[in-house]
Amino acid sequence: MAFDLPPPAPGSSPLPPAPPVSRRVRPSVMLVIVVGAVAWIAGLTGAIFGGQLSDWLDRPPTRGSDEPLRVGEARDAGAARLDVAAVADYVAPTVVTISADVSGGTSLGTGLIISSKGEILTNAHVIENASEIRVRLAGESEPRRVNLIAADRGNDLALLRMSGDGYESAIFADPESVRIGDEVIAIGFALGLDGEPSVTLGIVSALDRTIGQGNVYLDGLIQTDAAISSGNSGGPLVNAAGEVVGINTAVARDTLTTSATNVSFAISTTEALPIIEALRAQADGVEREEAYFGVGLADRTDGGQGVVVSSVEEDTPAANAGVVAGDLIVAVDGAATDGSAGLIAAIRDHNAGDPVTITIVREGDPIDMTVTLTSRPGQ
């Protein structure tokens, strides 16, 4: 099975000027990240970056707000049968279409309003390298300009903000309430089609999935069989209570040797909520330093546990701790490591300066090493 970040849904010509702020918001377009063996969109490195767009007359805010995110209470949200029409109507005012001007055209995706002060969450790949970003709200015919506050490319999330306040905002589900088998719906503008957003029904197929390719590794993902298409990325995956359980991000693609049917992935609220706060902090001048280990990795082909160290860079945390090529890394902080994607995600979840315990196997003997991570060179 292959995973990749497909190109954005094709867009249209430049959009007209933004209208005055209104309180209603219209559902949005989302881009699908196909997760797998093909290529991820170039430049997804995991670092948080800040962005400021063109100098507009009605300039949106350039910082995140301090408004608390809305999170539902822990409860059995999957017990009730999901009323698709009712939930879609309830969530629709918080979903927006995103149109980003990029080299050679327009990238279309979906976003989610997460605060009354106009903050919008989407996938980083939707707005990557955009010179200008606009959103269209539910019930509106004209788009409005937004600013990029910050983005975390490695976690594939970005925070935007539009002018005004009083917007309806989404409610996030308590992370502990999500269960395998829960009914969910994915909302977004599949293929960038005009009109209302598409709504697809599915279930939570699995939790805590990890996918990766190149420099991008996503962990803690929700797997669902709700259909997701290009143009849907950044849209919400919603439970029976109308609460957001994840941000639709990727789909599995068929390859020459494997087939994938209705295998989609969403960034869970467990992962998304702290990233949102980190993006808000970055916009206020506090930038996260990405943790760095300093090894090359190769996945095992015999189905065994662990990841093989193929190379070790000089003067890095790994080299200083005594890691050598040929070592087999089997755990990080006591948690088993089954592949390079999981190991890289585990390192990425730490900050520069954090100590971690790496368990390796060398010539059949297990060895625990304490490694102090540093920031990535050049960051």
Catalytic residue (choose from 107, 177, 233, 264): 233
CATH class of 1-287: mainly beta
31 in Cβ contact with 98 (< 8 Å)? no
Q: What is the CATH number of domain 291-375?
A: 2.30.42.10
Catalytic residue (choose from 101, 156, 225, 327): 156
1-287 and 291-375 agree in CATH topology: no
Instruction: Read off the amino acid at residue 344.
Output: I
Report H helices in 303-353: 317-321, 340-348
Nearest-Å Rg of the Cα atoms of the chain is 21
pTM confidence score: 0.69
Residue range 27-85, pLDDT digits in tens: 333 333 333 332 222 222 233 333 333 333 345 555 566 676 767 665 554 456 789 99
Q: What is the pLDDT of residue 9?
A: 54
Catalytic residue (choose from 125, 169, 264, 340): 125
The winner for highest mean pLDDT among 252-266, 298-312, 340-354 is 298-312
- Catalytic site includes residue 350: no
- Catalytic site includes residue 233: yes
Among positive and negative, which fits the CA dihedral 204, 238, 106, 118? negative
Cβ atoms within 10 Å of 353's Cβ, excluding its own:
11
Residue range 123-156, pLDDT digits in tens: 988 988 888 899 988 888 888 999 899 888 878 8
Instruction: Read off the amino acid at residue 234.
Output: G
Residue range 213-229, pLDDT digits in tens: 655 678 889 999 998 87
Residue range 235-290, pLDDT digits in tens: 999 999 999 999 999 887 766 555 556 889 999 998 999 999 989 988 765 656 67
- Domain boundaries of the chain, sorted by first residue: 1-287, 291-375
15 in Cβ contact with 265 (< 8 Å)? no
- Catalytic site includes residue 125: yes
Q: What is the pLDDT of residue 71?
A: 73
